[in-house]
């Protein structure tokens, strides 16, 4: 089987995207039988930047699917002594079956590692996109609502790599609405916005972005934020926090969206991007979302190695796990 790679959500067909999300929801629901599809394989987990959820999710997920793992930190490889990334990738591909890598940099390096026919490569976060977080978010929506089509999502905060993955993923489903409210100068990258708009036009969905909090509509199903200081980045403006303050998530947002759930990719800074009574309150599903990162990781690993999801080709429709 030719290995499959996940560098961007754009690497997935619509059928593959829906199948991986549905499989992650089945793992989350405890209804996904599997025969240890990673038995006899080794997954390398290489993180240059800090991680709690993604690193644990792929490590635990590989083990639960019958595989073994090798874990590398930022100072473990000969890259630090001048070996080229190309040579590192060639070596990895001759010893590993899957490489899950967080570079927090240019995804071109990951694509370079994927230019071989032995080892699957999974982007665990690059500077422009966090595709495995996007799959986690879609899995969480499916588990909660029993569907993704037609959902209305409000996103507040920086248009970072998590926001990019959310826009690229949600716009692939039919009739969805993504309303982004981002500080001036911290919105979605132009390329991401154009691609999301193209997909939304095809699926009858909507991606709207404003840089203020005026005339905010209501009746959202989900209110989402991320921390203001993205992993591996810094902001040039020393006064940037003042521009972010209007975009805090507080309980007032539920006055016009009383049935909305709250999502956060974590880690969270209570009192900054989100009030403590929201993150720890009855509307929050942020920690269910964190758990679903492992279930989604298992679906990604299965697809990488088998080219199928749950034994079903991705061109075929899959049953959807019930919401909870």
Write the CATH number for 157. Answer: 3.40.50.1370
Pairwise CA distance, residues 59 & 56, whole Å: 5
234: burial class by Cβ within 10 Å (0-12, 13-18, 19+)?
Answer: exposed
Same domain, 144 and 273: yes
Helix (H, G, I), strand (E, B) or coil at 195: helix
Position 262 confidence tier, pLDDT thresholds 50, 70, 90? very high
The answer as to whether 2 is a domain residue is no
Pairwise CA distance, residues 103 & 61, whole Å: 20
Check whether 104 has a pLDDT greater than 90: no
Tokens of 92: 């990895």
Neighbours of 30 (CB within 10 A): 8
Low-confidence winner among 118-122, 130-134, 235-239 (lowest mean pLDDT)? 235-239
Same domain, 181 and 251: yes
The answer as to whether 4 is a domain residue is no
Low-confidence winner among 84-88, 194-198, 275-279 (lowest mean pLDDT)? 84-88
Same domain, 228 and 115: no
Same domain, 284 and 298: no
The answer as to whether 321 is a domain residue is no
Cis-peptide, bond into residue 267, ω within 30° of zero? yes
The answer as to whether 314 is a domain residue is no
13: containing domain = 9-130+293-308
Same domain, 155 and 248: yes
Distance from CA of residue 212 to its chain's centroid? 25
Question: Is the C-alpha dihedral spanning 105, 107, 110, 115 positive or negative?
Answer: negative
Pairwise CA distance, residues 155 & 141, whole Å: 14
């Amino acid at each position: 089987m030719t290995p499959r790679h996940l560098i961007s959500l754009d690497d997935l067909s619509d059928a593959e995207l829906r199948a991986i999300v549905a499989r992650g929801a089945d793992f989350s629901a405890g209804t996904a039988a599997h025969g240890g599809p990673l038995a006899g394989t080794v997954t390398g987990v290489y993180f240059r930047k800090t991680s709690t959820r993604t690193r644990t999710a792929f490590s635990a997920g590989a083990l639960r699917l019958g595989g073994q793992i090798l874990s590398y930190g930022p100072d473990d490889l000969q890259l630090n002594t001048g070996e080229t990334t190309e040579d590192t990738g060639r070596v990895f591909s001759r010893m590993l079956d899957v490489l899950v890598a967080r570079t927090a940099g240019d995804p071109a390096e990951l694509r370079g590692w994927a230019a071989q026919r032995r080892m699957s490569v999974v982007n665990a976060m690059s500077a422009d996109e966090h595709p495995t977080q996007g799959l986690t978010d879609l899995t969480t929506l499916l588990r909660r609502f029993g569907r993704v089509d037609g959902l209305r999502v409000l996103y507040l905060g920086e248009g970072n790599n998590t926001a990019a993955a959310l826009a690229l993923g949600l716009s692939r489903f039919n009739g969805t609405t993504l309303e982004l409210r981002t500080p001036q100068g911290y919105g979605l990258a132009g390329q991401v916005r154009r691609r999301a708009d193209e997909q939304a036009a095809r699926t009858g969905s909507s991606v709207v972005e404003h840089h203020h909090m005026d005339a905010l509509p209501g009746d959202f199903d989900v209110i989402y934020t991320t921390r203001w200081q993205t992993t591996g980045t810094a902001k040039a403006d020393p006064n940037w926090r003042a521009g972010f303050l209007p975009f805090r998530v507080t309980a007032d947002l539920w006055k016009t969206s009383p049935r909305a759930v709250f999502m956060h990719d974590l880690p969270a800074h209570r009192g900054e991007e989100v009030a403590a009574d929201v993150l720890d309150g009855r509307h929050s599903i942020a920690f269910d979302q964190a758990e679903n990162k492992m279930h989604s990781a298992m679906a990604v690993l299965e697809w990488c190695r088998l080219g199928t999801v749950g034994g079903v080709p991705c061109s075929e429709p899959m049953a959807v796990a019930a919401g909870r």
